[in-house]
Amino acid sequence: MIKLKNIEKVYRTSTIETLALNEINLEVGKGEFLSIMGPSGCGKSTLLNIMGLLDEPSKGEITVDNETIRDFSDKKLAHFRNQKLGFIFQSYHLINDLPVLDNVELPLLYRSASANERTQLATEALQKVGLSNRVKHYPTQLSGGQKQRVAIARAIVGRPEIILADEPTGNLDSAMGNEIMDILINLNKNDGTTIVMVTHDENMAKKTNRLVRLFDGTQVM
Amino acid sequence: MFKHLFKLIWKKKKSSFLMMLEIFVSFLILFAVWTLSFYNYRNYSKPSGIDHENVWAVFINFNTDNDSLKTIYRDLVRQKLKTYAEIEAFAFTSSNMPYSFSSSNSSMKYNGRETHPEFMSVDPTYPDVLKMKLTEGRWFTEGDKVNKIKPIVITQKMKDDLFGNDNALGKIIGEKDDRKQVIGVLRHFKFENDFQAETACMLEPLNGWHTDMLVRVKPGTTVETEAKLSKAIVQLGKDWSVEIQHLDNMKANKNRIIWVPILILLIVCGFLIFNVALGLFGVLFQTISRRKQEIGVRRAIGATKSHILWHFVGETAVITTFGIILGLFFAIQFPLLNVFDLDAFTYVMGIVLAIISIYVLVIACALFPSKQASEIYPAVALHEE
């Protein structure tokens, strides 16, 4: 599903050059639930951003769903992200000025979906994460766990084949974290969604199919 | 997408309100400026109905209050001017000649209709001096002077005011002892300045006491002739004095009275609008830097650079639309209540031009910050706290 070949990421400033990722070779199979672990600053999020086509590697090749990402235009990249990928972030990144339903509908705004279709799909996604009674609430009226469930609903509303989650339980207590993890596991098992999750939590990582460890930008396991 | 933008703006209505207010005030200012400019431009583009080139205004003081003497003196002057080959035509006129600072109004009524025309008293040769053309009827002659009912030539505006679509020729207006009969109609006659709207005006044969005159000279006539003419007139009588002015200079002076205040107003409004533009620019930059994470999320879930660009331009355009709608409510009252007696078309054009200007201004101000927003790298935006 996702294939990374000799990925290298270097951050350059006028005085310093930092190697964030070094020779990463990774393959994520269809329907797999992969977790990435490692200490802070080891390049986990950078790797996830590269997988999610939010960042470009300095070197190497990415293949997503049998399509090699090379010289894609901004439009094509955006379309690719919209159709194939769903994102979940540690700090949820919901738009506080929009109600829950509108937050969930957001990816569909960039598709040619009618208003009715958008509402129907967003309602279904919210039902899936158990938040159908909060559609008119604003993010500021929700708990952390609820916000993350809204973020998950937003990630799955477009029915992407891959979900990239960057420490989805990082801001939650263990009970809430487990709830979120259960939702992700269900999505993986029931819908066959491929999930790549960055986490600091060993317990959460153990619940996934496979664990990849990074250290100083290098894959160590 | 409009609904989406509307929801975002509605939630931020308090902060959007100030921007909307700014747009509203700018709209009203631009509406006033455009209406005034369009009104004057429209008048300026219409023909004046007279040819002021090579026409001199001659102001003679006969040094007498006796009207009978003035009539005799006028004939003396007429005889003298006829001897000059450089003079093509001349006419005595009341002091409210074109581009002068004099004015004489009277009220005229006809079948319940009323108008307040400028009232001019002129020689029959007046149209030859100013090359005026009638659209209907004829000009009065020396022979008409003896008529009990005075013949008058009126402007189209006066005809419209008093007679509407009816034929004006032959109609008699005025009181029993001072009745006047319309014998001719002038289509255009701008006698105050080039920015003058169509005005009601009537011209009748010269009466006793007027001593000002208009003289048309041949093209290329020099100042020597002017001096010679002035000297010749002065020598005709005892203690006479003469002042000669050129009609084109008089016109330039009268025009300046109109366009200088407009220019000052335009400059002041320009500064005001410039400040509004700077304000908008600043607000948009601040908004965008505050919403970097939102931009990152939008980019992550499928928004292209172009989506981001037009999203922010769109948000600004929606706020602008609300500001304009509020402004329209007030602007529309002007044609509805016929304020300042301007025609509705001028106000409508003022509104249309103000709307276009506001959108151009706002979109120009929104484009650069929005472009900056669209260039934000999603990975960076998502990790900024």
ipTM attached to this prediction: 0.90
Whether A67 maps to a domain, the answer reads: no
Say if residue B113 is in the same domain as residue B211.
yes
Q: How confident is the model at residue A43 (pLDDT cuts 50, 70, 90)?
A: confident
Is residue B385 over pLDDT 60? no
Interaxial angle between packed helices A100-109 and A115-128, expressed in degrees from 0 to 180 and rounded to the nearest 10: 120
User: How many independent structural domains does chain A possess?
Assistant: 1
CA dist., res. A114 & res. A126, Å (int) = 18
Whether B372 maps to a domain, the answer reads: yes
**Last residue in a domain, options B206, B239, B272:** B239
Whole domain around residue A92: which residue ranges? 30-57+72-219
Whether A10 maps to a domain, the answer reads: no
Whether A185 maps to a domain, the answer reads: yes
Whether A63 maps to a domain, the answer reads: no
Say if residue B263 is in the same domain as residue B342.
yes
Q: Which two tokens stand for residue A100?
A: 């829950």
Output the pLDDT for position A104.
94
Can you say how many angstroms the Cα of residue A177 is from the centroid of all Cα atoms in its chain?
A: 16
Query: Closest residue of A to B307, CA-based?
Result: A110
Q: How confident is the model at residue A44 (pLDDT cuts 50, 70, 90)?
A: confident
A76-111 tens-digit pLDDT: 889 989 999 999 988 888 998 899 999 999 999 998
Query: Closest residue of B to A95, CA-based?
Result: B294
Going from the C-alpha of B90 to that of each of B74, B144, B154, B247, the distances in angstroms are 12, 19, 21, 13
Kindly determine whether residue A81 and residue B3, on different chains, have CB atoms separated by under 8 Å.
no
Put simply, whether A136 touches B (Cβ < 8 Å) is no
Q: Which residues of B touch A75 (CB under 8 A)?
A: 304, 306
- Average of per-residue pLDDT across B250-264: 93
Can you say how many angstroms the Cα of residue B107 is from the centroid of all Cα atoms in its chain?
A: 24
A1-40 tens-digit pLDDT: 788 898 999 988 888 888 888 888 988 888 999 999 988 8
Residue A49 is nearest to which of B11, B12, B379, comparing CB atoms? B379
Interface of A with B in 52-71 (CB under 8 A): 52, 54-55
Q: How confident is the model at residue A71 (pLDDT cuts 50, 70, 90)?
A: confident
CA dist., res. B143 & res. A31, Å (int) = 111
CATH number for position A120:
3.40.50.300
Say if residue B197 is in the same domain as residue B260.
no
Say if residue B371 is in the same domain as residue B299.
yes
Per the CB < 8 A criterion, the answer to whether A197 and A208 are in contact is yes
The pair phi, psi for residue A8, each rounded to 5°, is -135, 135
Strand pairing report for A218-219 and B212-217: unpaired
Per the CB < 8 A criterion, the answer to whether A28 and A7 are in contact is no
Whether A76 maps to a domain, the answer reads: yes
CA dist., res. B99 & res. B118, Å (int) = 13
Say if residue B94 is in the same domain as residue B223.
yes
User: How many independent structural domains does chain B possess?
Assistant: 2
Whole domain around residue B292: which residue ranges? 2-46+254-382
To the nearest whole Å, the CA of B299 is away from the closest chain A CA by: 7
Q: Which residues of A touch B11 (CB under 8 A)?
A: 97-98, 138
Q: Name the helix (H) or strand (E) containing A187.
A: helix A174-191
Whether B215 maps to a domain, the answer reads: yes
Say if residue B104 is in the same domain as residue B27.
no
Say if residue B265 is in the same domain as residue B228.
no
Say if residue B128 is in the same domain as residue B185.
yes
Say if residue B319 is in the same domain as residue B366.
yes
Say if residue B202 is in the same domain as residue B276.
no
pTM: predicted TM-score of the whole model, two decimal places: 0.78
B274-327 tens-digit pLDDT: 898 888 888 888 888 888 888 888 999 889 999 999 988 888 898 999 999 999
Task: Give chain A's length.
Answer: 221
**Last residue in a domain, options B239, B267, B287:** B239
Whether B360 maps to a domain, the answer reads: yes
The pair phi, psi for residue B31, each rounded to 5°, is -60, -45
Question: Exposure string (b/e) for B5-39, b if CB count within 10 Å is 16 or more?
Answer: beebbebbeeebeebbebbbebbbbbbbbbbbbbb
Chain B residues with a Cβ under 8 Å from any Cβ in chain A? 1, 3-4, 7-8, 11-12, 293-294, 296-307, 377-379, 382-383
Kindly determine whether residue A98 and residue B12, on different chains, have CB atoms separated by under 8 Å.
no
Task: Give chain B's length.
Answer: 385
Q: Which residues of A touch B383 (CB under 8 A)?
A: 45
CA dist., res. B46 & res. B201, Å (int) = 17
Whether B328 maps to a domain, the answer reads: yes
The strand pairing partners of B91, in sequence order, are: B214
Whether B247 maps to a domain, the answer reads: no
Kindly determine whether residue A45 and residue B383, on different chains, have CB atoms separated by under 8 Å.
yes
Half-sphere exposure of A189 (CA within 13 A, CB side): 9
